Structure 1
Amino acid sequence: MAYWLFKSEPDTWSWDQQVAKGAAGEEWHGVRNYQARNNMRAMKVGERGFFYHSNIGKEIVGVVEVSAESAPDSTTDDPRWDCVHIRAVKPFARPVTLEDCKAHPGLSQMVLVNNMRLSVQPVTDEEWHIICGLGGIEA
């Protein structure tokens, strides 16, 4: 199984808003970066990801799951852009900040630490387990 990280500015789309969408989840629309789009095209239903509040908070706050594979983005007529649907699975017992990630030796190669601009990014198995532990949840 692959793991991912989804970044959102909480004043635009927050963890609470994601949770409110329930089991149906929400289209992860509006991504206009080819690498992030390609990451979404690689996702399979059931794969898990971290929900990261960027700009405000700069912290991983919960776990999401891909609920629908990549399809055309409903917010544009441009056929280059598509997206997945995600649903909230569980919140972290305690948020894991960007500073926490930067300080942990096992996360030194994480995309979040080295390429903070990428809005949808892969997470390795080792990173997944470390961050779940830091967040107080079972991997």
Structure 2
Amino acid sequence: MLASDRPRHWLMKSEPAECSIDDALAAPQATVPWIGVRNYQARNFMRDAMRVGDGVLFYHSSCALPGIAGMARVASLPRPDPTQFDPSSTYFDPRSSAEKPRWVLVDVQALRKTRTIGLAELRSIPSLAGMGVLQKGSRLSITPVSPQEWETIVALADHG
């Protein structure tokens, strides 16, 4: 992938019971570590494609109204996710070691809360039909967002 071809916008899912847009906004510098990603493709996006400053659609999942709940940005380079080493964590991975970590995280800085743009609304917009989050069977917690999809969603969030 050429540097010019890499995605510059992402949709990142979080369960609000674990970390909501409000939690992120209330954190120091409105920044939270994106812990617990345990899918290789999502990990590879963080490790290989994300750059500081990339735009993030902060998506609430596994809740009453799943959808985009805020805007954020990637705020750090990838680093090992410490939860993989903690036996008391639900994200513990006994096959991971400090010498050979399997999982990474990036810091995400929340920029603002938006109205929730739910799945039904996203599905109703033809130009968003290709979004990863709208694909049947898609469970990936991190997906690239095209520049056109990003612009459409920013306009929705701003003008609803």
Shared fold (TM-score, shorter chain, > 0.5): yes
User: Counterpart of 1:21?
Assistant: 27
State the Cα RMSD in Å: 1.4
Contact persistence 2:14–2:20 (CA under 8 A): yes
- 1:22 CA displacement: 3.6
Q: Give the TM-score normalised by the residue count of structure 2.
A: 0.80
User: Counterpart of 1:129?
Assistant: 151
User: Counterpart of 1:46?
Assistant: 53
What is the percentage of aligned positions where both structures have the same residue? 40
Alignment gaps of 5+ in structure 2: 1-6, 86-95
- 1:24 CA displacement: 5.8
User: Counterpart of 2:40?
Assistant: 34
Contact persistence 2:117–2:157 (CA under 8 A): yes
- 1:23 CA displacement: 1.8
Larger Rg: 2
SS at 1:46 equivalent: coil
Give the length in aligned residue pairs: 136
> Deviation digits for residues 84-136 of structure 1, max 9, x if unmatched?
001111122x2211111111100001101015311011100000011111111
User: Counterpart of 2:78?
Assistant: 70
Match of 1:107 among 123, 128, 131: 128
SS at 2:56 equivalent: strand
CA 1:91–1:24: 2 relative to 1, 3 Å: closer
Corresponding letter in the other structure for 2:56: G
CA 1:73–1:102: 2 relative to 1, 3 Å: same
CA distance in 1, matches of 2:124, 2:30: 36
CA distance in 2, matches of 1:96, 1:136: 11
- 1:15 CA displacement: 1.0
Q: Give the TM-score normalised by the residue count of structure 1.
A: 0.92
User: Counterpart of 1:4?
Assistant: 10
